[in-house]
Amino acid sequence: MNVNYEYYRIFYYVVKYESLTKAANVLFSNQPNVTRSMNRLEQELGCRLLLRTSHGIQLTPEGERLYRHVQTAVEQLQAGEAELGSNALMQSGSISIGATETALHLLLLERLREFHRLYPGIHLRISNHSTLHAINALRQGSVDLAVVATPTSIEKPLQETILMPMHEILIGGDAFSFLCRKPLRYSDLIHYPLIMLEKGTANYQFYNQLFLQHGAVLHADTEAATADQLLPLVKCNLGLSFVPAAFAADAISRGEVFEIPLAEKLPERHIALVQDKRKPLGIAGETFVRMLLEKV
């Protein structure tokens, strides 16, 4: 059976307002057209649906059974239209972002604050991950976007967009302030305790490769789970650590930690946006990505 959906919609309004004339007004039509549509619907279904009485429209038993289904269908479609309308106006929707601690503090918090100010109706879910875990979450579809520190070592269909440079420095607590006197090589650092992010993180892999390139083997005396733990551990004189310069600026100005010069320049790293191009974003996600890229 291939009944015109418009007949069902008209049927819904006729029953809702218990009047052919009122239904016609709501539908911006006229009473003869509505009557004709109801006659055709009854003909195609092979049964009476409506009884026209002096008090208006009444449903037959068949009409009552049909209306229960039609009411659910029409009202669900109306709800869907309203939801999409709210999304288009950025009054509702959601974004899920996997972010590293470094990306969160250097870039993402500021952008999220601005986005929330403009679109307070959008639900934000931020997951704290290492770079590798954030990218895996993106592949699995548990986050919409990943904002992480490089290197990402991604492959298609994932796509990386550089958002900002990330300048890192080597720091130590007051027990290691004597190391500020002359630049150190990576081969010198193996003689001092080092505080690193956990093995298996992109950060550890980056520094491990860097040490190997300079003929040294990286050994972490202390491993931290997140980047925000590095500075407190350095202040406690547990060892030296590589941190984003912005993380350590205040502590350096207060004399709590010291920047230790390096003879070999640290390669520049970046904060990057990673997307899965197979999975289109919703309107809220696309808007947030545009905001991120406009600031680059």
- Same domain assignment for residues 146 and 276: yes
| Residue 101 sits in the same domain as residue 232 | no
User: Which of 12, 59, 64 is closest to 37 using CA atoms?
Assistant: 12
Give pLDDT, residue 111.
92
Q: How far is CA 154 from the centre of its chain?
A: 18
Mean pLDDT of the chain: 88
Going by the DSSP 8-state scheme, the letter that residue 176 receives in this structure is G
What are the pLDDT digits (tens) for 87-145? 555 566 789 999 999 999 999 999 999 988 888 888 899 998 888 899 999 999 899 99
Residues 117 and 28 in one domain: no
Give yes or no: residues 104 and 138 share one domain: yes
- Cα gap 88→134, rounded to integer Å: 28
Same domain, 158 and 274: yes
From 125-134, 176-185, 266-275, the region with the lowest mean pLDDT: 125-134
3-class SS of residue 156: coil
pLDDT, tens digit, 9 for 90 and up, residues 17-70: 888 888 888 888 888 898 898 899 889 888 898 888 777 788 889 889 989 998
Q: Can you give the residue range of the structural domain that contains 117?
A: 94-165+270-294
The enclosing domain of 191 has a CATH number of: 3.40.190.10
* Residue 75 and residue 148 in one domain: no
Same domain for 176 and 245: yes
Which pLDDT score, from 0 to 100, does residue 19 have? 87
* DSSP state for residue 262 in the 8-state scheme: B
Question: In the chain, what's the furthest Cα-to-Cα distance?
Answer: 102
The reply to whether the predicted model has a pTM over 0.85 is no
List phi, psi (to 5°) of 270.
-140, 160
Note whether 51 and 68 are same-domain residues.
yes
233 plus 203 within the same structural domain? yes
- Lookup: tokens for 25: 């007004």
- CATH number at 24 reads 1.10.10.10
